[in-house]
């Protein structure tokens, strides 16, 4: 399959000026799969009402079929066609955070394919805060099911190049809108229960949610694999680079001991750290994913760093542990998934 690629400036206010958007939207209407940027990561979109189109997402990604997808919309009017019994707390969250990196799990009304919801009675919905994503959804005039645009299990894509590397020849088209912003996926919140429950940490923090919704719980399943995931990202190893990744709990000297041991074994060693500590390590590849005193920068560059380790062909990766306050919760959730919960502790 030929994968068409279009470049679109982020400043998409008049879709008539962008035949690229129109062509991509037409392919979505025809049941094809398109990669496109959002404010979190690149998404892999298909018509959420078309089972055959949605199946192409799973085929392209190699994604397990029991893993539900998020439906992306461009207006609250679209929401009324796919959900019912929207509670007041969900409306308050929409008012506060939409468009933005927040996905709400609501009762399903119908209209979306069973493949999207993995047979659940709920549907996960969000309105992305990205001009290209919104323009594409509006032009297609469809709810768009869209997981991250990567091969299943690999680090999510924050650049069009990442999508191209993973999915060239497997999808119909790719809209290149430059680098994404947040860098980790949306926060997923179950609004069908009281109090609401975070199923996946992401671009909207628990603290921000509590300011609007009051009490917010965190699903204990985030710490373990689950049999029937209620949200994308709750089951299976995700975000993983090719080399085994281990999270190191301990001092810089302990990290260096692990690096030195692996090097003596003849391994090419990578270290994932921050700008503040890059000079502290002597490894084959030392990468900073941001500033430790600004974890939003770590979130924004985490996946790109993991993909760079693949490009540098390292044999093993050691990563620092990060604080779990604010968006650090999402960073550590992704690292836990990428490492398969593999830790080494100095103590």
Q: Which of 157, 188, 223 is the last residue of a domain?
A: 223
Is 142 found in the same domain as 103?
yes
Distances (CA, A) of 246 to 20, 163, 331: 42, 25, 14
Report the CATH number at residue 75: 3.90.870.10
Is 176 found in the same domain as 34?
yes
Q: Quick check: is 231 in a domain? A: no
Please give the pLDDT value at position 229.
47
Residues of the chain with pLDDT under 50: 225-229, 233-236
Specify the residue for token string 């209407």. 29
Task: Note the pTM of the prediction, 2 decimals.
Answer: 0.93
248/254 Cα distance (integer angstroms):
8
Q: Of 44, 98, 40, give the one whose Cα is nearest residue 300.
A: 40
Check whether the bond before 138 is cis (ω within 30° of 0): no
- CA 236 to chain CA centroid, nearest Å: 14
Q: Could you give the number of structural domains in the chain?
A: 2
Is 253 found in the same domain as 211?
no
Q: Give the annotated binding-site residues for L-threonine.
A: 40, 72, 122, 126, 146, 186
By residue range, what is the domain housing residue 267? 245-345
Is 124 found in the same domain as 75?
yes
The span from the first CA to the last CA of the chain, in angstroms, equals 52
Q: Quick check: is 234 in a domain? A: no
Please give the pLDDT value at position 226.
44
Please give the pLDDT value at position 16.
67
Is 89 found in the same domain as 210?
yes
Q: Quick check: is 190 in a domain? A: yes
Please give the pLDDT value at position 234.
47
Is 336 found in the same domain as 253?
yes
Task: For residue range 97-132, list pLDDT tens digits in order.
Answer: 999 999 999 999 988 999 999 999 999 999 999 999
Is 63 found in the same domain as 145?
yes
Q: Give the annotated binding-site residues.
A: 40, 63, 67, 72, 122, 126, 146, 148, 156, 186, 200, 239
Is 278 found in the same domain as 141?
no
Q: Which of 171, 192, 223 is the last residue of a domain?
A: 223
* Extended beta strands in the chain, E state: 4-7, 34-37, 42-47, 70-72, 83-84, 102-108, 122-126, 144-145, 173-176, 187-190, 196-200, 216-218, 245-249, 269-273, 285-288, 316-320, 343-345
Q: Give the annotated binding-site residues for ATP.
A: 63, 67, 148, 156, 200, 239
Q: Quick check: is 28 in a domain? A: yes
* CB distance 46 to 27 below 8 Å: no
221/166 Cα distance (integer angstroms):
29
Is 274 found in the same domain as 174?
no
Q: Quick check: is 233 in a domain? A: no
Is 88 found in the same domain as 23?
yes
Please give the pLDDT value at position 232.
54
Is 267 found in the same domain as 215?
no
Q: Quick check: is 69 in a domain? A: yes
Is 341 found in the same domain as 257?
yes
């Amino acid at each position: 399959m030929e994968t068409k690629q279009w470049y679109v400036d982020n400043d998409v206010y008049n879709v008539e000026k962008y035949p690229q958007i129109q062509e991509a939207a037409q392919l979505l209407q025809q049941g094809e799969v398109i990669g496109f940027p959002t404010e979190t990561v690149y998404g892999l979109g298909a018509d959420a009402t078309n089972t055959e189109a949605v199946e192409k997402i799973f085929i392209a990604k190699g994604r397990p079929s029991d893993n539900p997808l998020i439906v992306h919309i461009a207006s609250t009017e679209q929401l009324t066609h796919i959900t019912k019994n929207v509670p007041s707390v969900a409306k308050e969250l929409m008012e506060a955070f939409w468009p933005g990196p927040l996905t709400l799990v609501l009762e399903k009304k119908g209209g979306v394919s069973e493949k999207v919801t993995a047979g659940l009675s709920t549907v996960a919905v969000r309105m992305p805060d990205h001009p290209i994503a919104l323009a594409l959804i509006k032009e297609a005039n469809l709810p768009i099911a869209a997981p991250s645009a990567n091969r299943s299990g690999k680090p999510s894509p924050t650049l069009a190049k990442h999508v191209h590397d993973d999915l060239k020849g497997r999808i119909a088209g790719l809209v290149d809108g430059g680098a994404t912003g947040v860098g980790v996926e949306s926060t997923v919140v179950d609004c069908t229960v009281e109090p609401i429950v975070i199923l996946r940490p992401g671009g909207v923090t628990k603290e921000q949610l509590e300011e609007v919704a009051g009490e917010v719980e965190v699903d204990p399943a985030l710490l373990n694999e689950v049999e029937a995931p209620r949200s994308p990202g709750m089951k299976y190893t995700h975000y993983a680079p090719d080399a085994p990744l281990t999270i190191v709990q301990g001092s810089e000297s302990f990290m260096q001991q692990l690096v030195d041991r692996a090097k003596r074994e003849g391994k090419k060693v990578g270290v994932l750290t921050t700008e503040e500590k890059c000079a502290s390590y002597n490894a084959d590849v030392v990468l900073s994913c941001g500033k430790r005193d600004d974890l939003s920068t770590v979130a924004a560059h985490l996946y790109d760093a993991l993909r760079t380790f693949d490009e540098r062909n390292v044999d093993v990766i050691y990563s620092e542990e990060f604080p779990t306050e604010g968006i650090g919760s999402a960073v550590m959730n992704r690292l836990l998934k990428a490492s398969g919960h593999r830790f080494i502790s100095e103590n």
